[in-house]
Amino acid sequence: MKIKLIAIAAIAAILAGCNPTEAPNLSADPTSLSFTSAGGTSMFHITSNTSWSISTDGAGWIQLSTTSGEGGDMINVTAQPFTEALARSATITITTPTGQMATVAVVQTPPAPPAKPEEQNLSIIAAGGEQTVKVPSGYTIMATSDQTWLKIVSVSDGEVKVSAEANGTDEYRDAKVKVVLTDGTTLSEISVKQSWRNVEPGELLIEEVYFTGSPIEGSTRSSEDQYIKLTNNSDHVVYADRVMFVMNYMSGTKTSAGAYYEYPELEDGLAVTDMYVIPGKGTDYPVEPGKSIVLAINAENYNAENDKAFDLTKADFEFFDGTDHSFPDTDNPDVTNLDIWFKSSMTITQLHGRGLESYAIVTPPASETADALLANRHWSGTRIMYFNEFVFKQDISKHDVWVIPGEWVLDAVNCSLADLFYFNPWADAFDSGWTFCGEFDGDTSRYGKSVRRRSEGGKLVDTNNSTNDFTPNATPSLVE
């Protein structure tokens, strides 16, 4: 009997080993995961002998490779990039049908702010408008402006768009845009300067002056196909609206008889006579980077009568002097006329055919009008002419001459001849040299030649010295 009981016990033990009754188990390793602000993928391992399911307490910024399974498994956890200023966290919970539970804590750190705020400068033209500023990306940001004329249009990752009202004053004005993180940390400070004009010095240049006219075969005269070419030398669009072409009153060239003048000192400004202005309200006449506009004295097809002359009917603007005088001008209705603020000639305005003049382009402030300029900026003083042993004094206030402030000047070019030049007729800041066509007074080889600005590396040369900047006796650009 005893032997039978032992045998039965042994069999029971064997059967129990083949069909164990184990309690459900569940664990996760590791129990915490960390992510940087860049996000990415990490993993944890589930150990279990039963089925399970996973939830993420509503944290939509993490995704799991699976949310249910049975037995052991490796779970991939992917975190999205993070731009907020404070850390975020979530809990991954694994549960079984019989109530076992394991958790994995997930933390994502915020992007590290810069050691000090980024400083930027933004320039805005007088016409205003919208501009987008790049700021450090990877952050959730807010932006504020300290001036009512500068509005924040939109804010997104890495960008702030601002909109400026038109500046109708005679001065530059400043604003500050502050870009901050959601915890108030300053990310970027943008110093904004709005100009009182739409073109800054050096952006729009006098590239060429064609004053000689084209040669007429069998004649000692030339055609009257004269033009001025202005070129955008910047890397952005400029607007030619209200750019004024002026002729200098002071002459640094002797007459062919040897007479010359001395003038009152004028350190910061130009004494001018003729003033022609490109019309427009601010942004009507855009000029793309590297592109040019042509101002024709007369927008006529001179090539129709002289095959060496130019067809100027495709010029951008025309000097039209009207028909109410003894020498009526001819208007090309297809070419925009320049506005006349003042013209000294009672006939038709022309460039000096021998090049014994100086020219400039300037921008008057938005508040300046022709009437105000003529009323308030008249030049006075005494001009002295020396001719052999004679000395003649003249009251400038009796002449039609006005002073253009130096800060209005965009560019200038002085033309003369070697046998007649004797002094620079304005401050060196405007042009410290001079250029020419023809080698001497009366040189007819000048016909068909222009003074043309040199270029280097795809940009026009601009050192405020026409001797250095211009090629004399150049081939006109309209030939090309």
Can you spell out the DSSP letters for 338-386?
Answer: PEEEE---SS-----TT---EEEEE---TT--HHHHHHH-B--SEEEEE
d(Cα 46, Cα 27) in Å, to the nearest integer? Answer: 6
Which residue in 251, 274, 248, 247 sits closest to 263, CA to CA?
251
Spell out, as residue ranges, where the chain has pLDDT lower than 70. Answer: 1-21, 325
Query: What CATH number has the domain spanning 26-108?
Result: 2.60.40.10
The residue extents of the domains of the chain are: 26-108, 118-194, 204-479
Instruction: For tokens 């080889």, name the residue.
Output: 445
d(Cα 171, Cα 388) in Å, to the nearest integer? Answer: 47
Given this model, what pLDDT does residue 20 score? 54
Given this model, what pLDDT does residue 6 score? 47
d(Cα 143, Cα 118) in Å, to the nearest integer? Answer: 14
List, for residues 166-194, the tens digit of each pLDDT value: 998 999 999 999 999 999 999 999 999 99
Question: Distances from the Cα of 239 to the Cαs of 81, 200, 293, 294, 401, in angstroms?
Answer: 42, 10, 11, 14, 27
Under CATH, domain 118-194 is a member of which superfamily?
A: Immunoglobulins (2.60.40.10)
**CA gyration radius for the chain?**
40
Fold match between 26-108 and 118-194?
A: yes
Task: For residue 30, say if its preceding peptide bond is cis, omega within 30 degrees of 0.
Answer: yes
List, for residues 196-228, the tens digit of each pLDDT value: 999 999 999 999 999 999 999 989 999 999 999
d(Cα 304, Cα 390) in Å, to the nearest integer? Answer: 48
Given this model, what pLDDT does residue 323 score? 76
Given this model, what pLDDT does residue 14 score? 44
Residue 68 phi/psi, 5-degree rounding, is -160, 160
CB 195 within 8 A of CB 124: yes
Given this model, what pLDDT does residue 296 score? 98
H-helix or E-strand spanning residue 73: strand 73-79
CB 232 within 8 A of CB 287: yes
Given this model, what pLDDT does residue 287 score? 98
d(Cα 432, Cα 39) in Å, to the nearest integer? Answer: 61
